[in-house]
Structure 1
Amino acid sequence: MQFIYVCRHCRSYLGRVDHGRVDETRLGFTSLTAEEQADIITYNSDEDVAYVKTICDYCQEAIEAHPELVLLENPLQ
């Protein structure tokens, strides 16, 4: 399985990790609650891929400069 990281705001591709190199425990996913996992990780068993939502540097800086953006559903689209 591959873990593909994408920005939750702008949906930019940020990178990937192949399951053979690391497992969910080492990635820290097992320390998340079930709700957090459901919010952050989307599994696609047909493609054997897990999409992990995170935030890119650009979006992080924009939200830090303008915190009101987090109130919008898609702040940086």
Structure 2
Amino acid sequence: MSIVYNCRHCGLEIGRLDNQMIDTSLLGFNQLSAEEKQEMIQYRDNGDILVRTICESCQETLGENPQYHELDFFIQ
């Protein structure tokens, strides 16, 4: 099982935790609301967990262009 962190905007793989047993509460998953979990976390058939987050580059772009927050996708 791996936990893979991908940018929700550009798709960049930000990081990956490869381990057979990972306590997701140590990663803070238990502090997310049900809505946040549904939006951010996907469970794959192979046992991997995909976490949709944001990379530094996209965060910087959003900081410079706050109007992009209104868009579902700002990278064309």
- Number of equivalent positions: 76
TM-score calculated relative to the size of structure 2:
0.91
Distance, in Å, in 2 between the alignment partners of 1:35 and 1:19 is 26
C-alpha displacement at 1:20, in angstroms?
3.8
Q: Where does residue 59 of structure 1 map in the other structure?
A: 58
TM-score (norm 1): 0.90
Q: What percent of counterpart residues are identical?
A: 39
Unaligned 5+ segments in structure 1 are none
Deviations 1:15-34 (A, max 9, x none): 11134463110000001111
Deviation string, structure 1 residues 43-75 (Cα, Å, up to 9, x no partner): 01x211110011001000000000101111111
Q: From the superposition, tell whether residues 43 and 29 of structure 1 become closer, same or farther in structure 2 (CA, over 3 Å).
A: same
Distance 2:21 2:59 in 1: 28
Structure 2 residues without counterparts, runs of 5 or longer: none
Structure 1 stretches of at least 4 aligned residues deviating more than 3 Å after TM superposition: 19-22
User: SS state of the match for residue 11, structure 1?
Assistant: coil
